[in-house]
Chains A and B, each alone.
Chain A
Amino acid sequence: MATAPKRQTITNHFLLNVAIVELTKVTKRYGNVLAVENFDLTTKNGEFVVLVGPSGCGKTTTMRMIAGLETVSEGEIKIGGKNVVGMIPRERDVAMVFQNYALFPHMNVFGNMSFGLRLRKLPKEKVESRVKEAATILGIAHLLDRRPKELSGGERQRVALGRAIVREPQVFLMDEPLSNIDAKLRVEMRAEIIKLQRRLGVTTFYVTHDQVEALSMGDRIVVMSKGHVQQIGTPKELYNTPANRFVAGFIGSPSMNFILTKVVEGGTLTAGDNFKIVLPPPMATALETRGLREVWLGVRPEHIRTARNGEAENAIPGVVDVVEPQGASTILQVNVGSDLKVIVQVNEQWGREAGERLRLSIPAESIHLFDPATEQQVSN
């Protein structure tokens, strides 16, 4: 087993392996196809890192490179200060939870959970006590004799987690572990995984395509698209200060509104017939120094306010086109010009109707500006 920089006792058996994972300019090519390029990241101790992005963005490939299931074309991966490129998975001391659980169908739960320990020729009593302890933590101690096919989806998931934690690895890797579970259980398991990870304190990489999952679970989130890292940050940073238009559109639901606006002197943006907004001075200066003629205005649906008559100086007149009640809130599609539409989320349950006229106001602090050419944030 590799030497971890710091070990800390949690329970009798569970030693806390804390390892920093460093990825330096990690690149993966399949022939001419670039799957991941120049991935740079250094984790903190026991950090929960979520890799998120649309399918084909390279997040799973990145995780598989850390696991040793995929070779690295270029770059370096260090686990606990040791370069693991070229090492087989066994030498890396990582554990992985797969999307389809990947339990061994011909072994019972005990067999599945003890597989790695038995391969490492641990004494029998030690194997048993460790498996029992992990099973108790996960609430599956009564299932040890069952075969995977006799278990429910949630139970299988727990066994897969159990198989991962029982070996006390330095790093957990989880590849969309919740995507095959129904919605209600998914929310429960999400909370359980977070609790488990906090309790064990093992550095964890978690792959998902679901931005809600990413926001709710990650200490830090890596947003990827087309093989490139778009932004790395805390959930709050990604939500409040997206680095580019992709991240802005990907994080948050419903998605951010993007309006291509003309820059008029004095920091005023216009679009269509009656969309007009005056920027606060710092943003206006930022645009001026960059000399942009056009700019993408981004604003989240939940940040747009409906203004009462005469209120708010930045008010934009609009007509409600479609009303989508969500229960606690309502999503409105509002026409603010001949072919300009914005999505607005209002904290009202009911009472909106299609055809209703209203005035929208956009608070200055919720405005995001993106360069049309580079798609990078230019708000400040």
Chain B
Amino acid sequence: MKYPLIWFLKAYRLFISPLYGQVCRYHPSCSAYALEAVTVHGSIRGSWLAVRRLARCHPWAAGGYDPVPTRTTPTRGV
């Protein structure tokens, strides 16, 4: 499940992402975050982190620098 997701995210970043230009209020951008999260944390935890990041990336969010948590640091919540 992990590799199809990575493949999908890479394809998205190459072909669909450019249609919108820079949209994300964070660095790394949501799709880069998702790619790294899935690569580092695997499909389930990575997807969960990516979904949470997307939920954070709304028009009222301040944005900012928001890196993927490393494997050693526990994430808040789940």
**A and B: real partners?**
no
| Residues of chain B whose beta carbon lies under 8 Å from any beta carbon of chain A | none
| Residues of chain A whose beta carbon lies under 8 Å from any beta carbon of chain B | none
